[in-house]
Structure 1
């Protein structure tokens, strides 16, 4: 959220503004949008994702005040998925790109926004083929990352389960993760278990609310930080949203618990925060991208 490193950025990009870091940015969505709009600079292009009206009004006003040309998805450009392909409608062309390598329906929006930002550079070297290669080869550790190696990955593989790692930690991220899990569940109806660890300053009930319509089990745990929620406090928030929940003292114990019992091998998703994700990745360099 430090947006003022460069006075004259080549292009500024604003992803969907939602409620997060309220202790520093909020609590109103308009206040958060005002902070995010600090990335808008005089006479420099801005590419902006679809926004709630309250946030959009602030972003549009700031762009107009400093004379920054604004490209708004849904008004000046569009992004959609068509038969598995990523379609990006810019002001002067229609791009038909391969699907992004990163899992989840929200990654189509992210990849499309990145493509529009690159087009705003107006560099002849950035061809449609280059954009396609970027979409289909991008990697992002901790964003619905499949863990096949490392101690936890091997533990899951021995049970016949698949193990995933995602940094979602706020309600907006939880909604994206829930949609991804729902899409995967529609193709493969194995049981779903969420292993969750969060900071105390987050909104755990808002996070868990995104999963109320999914058949799943939650295992609440914690990580090495004095400001992490206890498993018991996290479990209370999950139970308040009507989710079945158990507790475990750490992520290794939580994954082991998720894999116990009879029935089909579950799909296990570790999530809840980037600090928590970092602790999981630190268990083994085998999980790091090459």
Structure 2
């Protein structure tokens, strides 16, 4: 098989949408010989900042000389980006090999038969089209697993074969019944929780926090970022019920300053001032949670040294997290896709560039609540360039006009909006609303010759 066939099969799974549960994942991992037993796990859940926190954890461990696997979702450009070993996405061949082991060893399916079926059905072409999301389902005749369950099992196989010492595993959604919750971590991290995916996680902050706190394990240390009081109460209760030591940012460890001159205090360890590789005051919180996770792992991961901390936090980068592209880094691409994330983005943009209004390119997927995001962006926007994402789930740009009081234009695509701004000589631009939008913008910007 090749990578196109593998991703086509995976994308054509889960016709009923996202299904939570752990039993199928556990069973297949048992069939594969429990590859997860070969490495330690840091498990991260939350609504905002979990990707950045995972990146900080991975870089801190790498600075200490550990071989590290990093599993995150979604990807921006290529499926293999979900699996990183020592800071680099794995090769296509490693992904294909893991998928074939999943088929043959975990599901008792013949990879040759699956490859033949994918080609006969024309799935490679269908799943490469922008309407792929509407076409899912065909592959489920062979496989009882969802896309995310398969991907999580493949991450475990890839990391075990690569000989990683520590795997940093980011939840896909929720936590309690997320496929990543089959692992027994040495430490769990819960970044700030906000209302999201309410159709799956519940329509109150307490319900969403309950799902996120489901990653808390009996006796395993937990690190929590800053939480709204209802979420904090849920996390504290579940930690107490499970005898899990809870370490809270702002109470049990702290940080001060900003991303340029950060200071972090965790127990007896104090570091700073130091510079972070990711911009924004909120990234200081994420870095503090990452460092606290390693310190409170009871020595299972690392006995930190100041120079390693300084090097790891400075080296951290993460695509589409306040990523500066274009002339003089003035075109900023960010994957913020909920009100809390957008609020942090606006604060960071103002912190870096000042309060001067700029054009905002905005696109969003259909299930997202766009109105509060647009209201917050109005405090920064000189005008809006609304764009329809290429993804089949993308909301039509014209549907967003009614939410706005600022001048706005609707475009048929993200690239069309960016092209218009370039023709007009825009110096600073902000792009946000979805990771799908961020991926489209990055692709276009990186192709330009400025």
TM-score bracket, normalised by the shorter chain, equals: 0.7 to 0.9
Distance 2:282 2:354 in 1: 17
2:251 maps to 75
2:434 maps to 273
2:426 is the alignment partner of 1:234: no
Q: CA deviation at 1:147?
A: 2.0
Q: CA deviation at 1:258?
A: 2.3
Q: CA deviation at 1:91?
A: 2.1
Q: CA deviation at 1:266?
A: 3.1
2:275 is the alignment partner of 1:111: no
Distance 1:169 1:82 in 2: 23
Deviates further, 103-112 or 28-37: 103-112
Deviates further, 98-107 or 123-132: 123-132
Task: Output one character per residue of 1:124-170: Cα deviation in whole Å (capped at 9) or x when no partner.
Answer: 5432221111111111011111224xxxxxxxx3xx78212100010
Q: CA deviation at 1:284?
A: 7.8
TM-score relative to the length of structure 1: 0.85
Deviates further, 163-172 or 92-101: 92-101
RMSD: 2.3
1:93 maps to 269
Instruction: Choose the corresponding residue for 1:5, options 154, 174, 181.
Output: 181
Q: CA deviation at 1:205?
A: 0.6
Q: CA deviation at 1:97?
A: 4.7
1:218 maps to 384
1:99-248 aligned within 5 A = 99-121=275-297, 122=299, 123-148=301-326, 157=327, 162-186=330-354, 189=356, 191-237=357-403, 239=404, 242-248=405-411
2:194 is the alignment partner of 1:18: yes
TM-score relative to the length of structure 2: 0.56
2:4 maps to none
Distance 1:23 1:145, change over 3 A: same
Asked whether the 8 Å contact 1:97–1:128 carries over to 2, the reply is no
Asked whether the 8 Å contact 1:3–1:38 carries over to 2, the reply is no
Asked whether the 8 Å contact 1:103–1:144 carries over to 2, the reply is yes
Aligned to 2:350, what secondary structure does the other structure show? Answer: helix
| Structure 1 unaligned regions, length at least 5 | 149-156
Aligned to 1:220, what secondary structure does the other structure show? Answer: strand
Distance 2:206 2:213 in 1: 10
Instruction: Choose the corresponding residue for 1:47, options 213, 220, 223.
Output: 223
Q: CA deviation at 1:44?
A: 0.5
Distance 2:416 2:447 in 1: 20
- Report the number of matched residues: 270
| Structure 2 unaligned regions, length at least 5 | 1-172
Aligned to 1:259, what secondary structure does the other structure show? Answer: helix
Distance 1:60 1:3, change over 3 A: farther
Aligned to 2:294, what secondary structure does the other structure show? Answer: helix
Aligned to 1:255, what secondary structure does the other structure show? Answer: helix
Distance 1:177 1:268 in 2: 13
1:152 maps to none
1:154 maps to none
Distance 1:285 1:255 in 2: 12
Asked whether the 8 Å contact 2:415–2:440 carries over to 1, the reply is no
Structure 1 or 2: larger helix share?
2
